[in-house]
Chains A and B, each alone.
Chain A
């Protein structure tokens, strides 16, 4: 019996030694966000490990930390100064919270011994590269996956509205009753937010019993940063911004009240499904696919699902920039990507991999696998295969705007206060004054 136990103990120790040795091989570890983005990244990694690893001297492993709360888990590694991973997952809007735990990338890109591919940042859309710079201009990451907002609408319904005289008359009448203006139906690309509301009233059964849809629009209301970003398109169009030119918090103003009133009208008047106060990406897709709503300001990533071949509304969906305010149209965008951990014990290898990710070769592999690499060449070349890429280029070139890297610091308090205001729990003045005070105080801890 003793001999058996001894043999088992010896075997266990041997296995541990083998596993430790294999874990310590020449692999670097990168955290990524599971979903279509990681599916695309896996293709890029597989290509690297099969074709590039020998020359580079290392392979790459991807660690998926779960889509929800990925930053929570990374924060634990950052706080512990853990060397367990070599590259962190990040996003342009989060950089302000985490840059101090990441390694500046430019010195590595400038070092030909590390950047053996001669890669530079020129191939990427400049705004997406700038999204990975801290306020002093230091570059901390590689933009890998671009997201933006569109106005989605049902082409069959809008075409009918623009051609059917009876519908036009009803539209004018409802606009006059509800908004105090006799508005003419227009092409969605020319809409102001008032046109958006007028169309929403028209396509809501409670105001137009002949409406083919139950509700006019789907407005995201769930308490989460992305909901506040959707509202930000409207806020920008009225001349507001999260921070002023001096970088000071800037919420307590008239532009915010006007933008909030657009959102609140949708919830208060029932132009959006009542549950949308707790709705986000998935619920929006469901509402569009179910034919429950006629339009929505929504993420580009929803296009593949809403217009999928099996979708009942396939072929009846079009996108354009979100509606305009007095300052014009704006289309929010942000970028997901990776940056080198300050605590990595393989910084040069991580930097070589990051440099290669900047190449068009990597961007093309990523995009072909379903990711949305923010590469000028790739998005333009692949727009025949993925039409949404072409729409993104068009909309972002004309109206693209992003939030500064410090936005992530206050996004949670912003979405909480704004949501309380648009669902009517708190009046605009109270919500905005509180948000202004809280966000200003919070920013003082990050200076």
Chain B
């Protein structure tokens, strides 16, 4: 009996070993190496022998106005984009709860942008929104009054629109599948009691799916806060630093200026900043489940 238990333990250990080695080598070690670098002046010219500077990178980072404005831009973008995408995702998922002709095709079309890599999506949007030859820029000009959708006046709205096309399907699919699990008898009972469609959505569907809703909201908020590929392809953070998200700030520090120490300090600061709301929301959702 004992030997069987021992064998089971050993088997479990052996099964976990490859993944553990993988995680240590490709996740834990780089994280710790990055944390170490954040306390060094480490650039491509001294990467062999970086010099220890204590918390200087962190001090400089938090007195850097560019970092502050990129954090603020990311926060604003995350809140607005998440609100729009959650709203649209829920509404479309709700509309798709009933059958209609061509539902399968419509679902596929809505989900299609989600499977396109954001960088590729950004590159396509850069062409589609091109002021001189972009068809979308031309079609929208009736509404916006200009084809310059990547100019100062419209660039933020354009990025939010592009991100919505790319990421809203994620909200839609989560909400759609969660709504499928709402007990029909509850909805039928509400109908019998005279509740209209909106009342059923607000008082039955949304409370029932609140756990999935919370997780989707958190995931979407973090995705939007950390947006990189779409902006990199569409504007590279410009005009100037006008649409520079915090991820673009870190990227430029690390790979345009080769200032690895500062980039690591920014990455760890960002991780700490995001850890607090993430833990709060995870805990709230876990409590909700219980």
> Interface code A414-447, partner B: CB below 8 Å = 1, 0 otherwise?
0010011101111000000000000000100110
- Which of A79, A97, A275 contacts B131 (CB under 8 A)? A275
Does chain A have a CB within 8 A of B47?
A: yes
Stretch at the interface among B18-26, B103-111, B188-196, B239-247: B239-247
- Whole-angstrom distance from the CB of A94 to the nearest CB of chain B? 10
Contact between B43 and A446, CB atoms less than 8 A apart: yes
Return chain A residues, CB-CB under 8 Å to B44.
75, 78-79, 97-98, 101
Contact between A222 and B236, CB atoms less than 8 A apart: yes
Contact between B241 and A416, CB atoms less than 8 A apart: yes
- Whole-angstrom distance from the CB of B125 to the nearest CB of chain A? 12
The answer to whether A278 and B151 touch (CB under 8 A), given A79-B47, A283-B132, A290-B132, is yes
Return chain B residues, CB-CB under 8 Å to A100.
45
Contact between B131 and A283, CB atoms less than 8 A apart: yes
Return chain A residues, CB-CB under 8 Å to B150.
275, 277-279
- Whole-angstrom distance from the CB of B58 to the nearest CB of chain A? 16
The tally of residues in B whose CB lies under 8 Å from a CB in A reads: 38
Cα(A290)–Cα(B133), bound, Å = 8
Cα(A409)–Cα(B44), bound, Å = 10
Contact between B155 and A278, CB atoms less than 8 A apart: yes
Cα(A411)–Cα(B258), bound, Å = 12
Contact between B240 and A223, CB atoms less than 8 A apart: yes
At the interface, is chain B mostly helix, strand, loop or mixed? loop
Contact between B148 and A224, CB atoms less than 8 A apart: no
Does chain A have a CB within 8 A of B41?
A: yes
Contact between A223 and B241, CB atoms less than 8 A apart: yes
Return chain B residues, CB-CB under 8 Å to A409.
257
Complex interface residues of chain B between 236 and 290 (CB less than 8 A to chain A)? 236-242, 252, 255-259
The answer to whether A416 and B240 touch (CB under 8 A), given A69-B255, A79-B47, is yes
Please list the residues of chain A having a beta carbon within 8 angstroms of any beta carbon in chain B: 69, 71-72, 75, 78-79, 81, 97-98, 100-101, 221-224, 273-279, 283, 286-287, 290, 292, 409, 411-413, 416, 419-421, 423-426, 442, 445-446
5 smallest CB-CB distances across A and B, nearest first, come from: A274-B148, A274-B151, A420-B240, A277-B239, A412-B256
Interface pairs (29), CB distance under 8 Å: A71-B255, A79-B47, A97-B45, A101-B44, A222-B238, A223-B235, A223-B237, A223-B239, A273-B131, A273-B132, A278-B155, A278-B238, A278-B239, A283-B131, A287-B132, A290-B132, A292-B132, A411-B256, A416-B66, A416-B241, A416-B252, A420-B241, A420-B242, A423-B152, A423-B242, A425-B241, A426-B240, A445-B43, A446-B43
Please list the residues of chain B having a beta carbon within 8 angstroms of any beta carbon in chain A: 41, 43-48, 66, 129-133, 137, 146-153, 155, 234-242, 252, 255-259
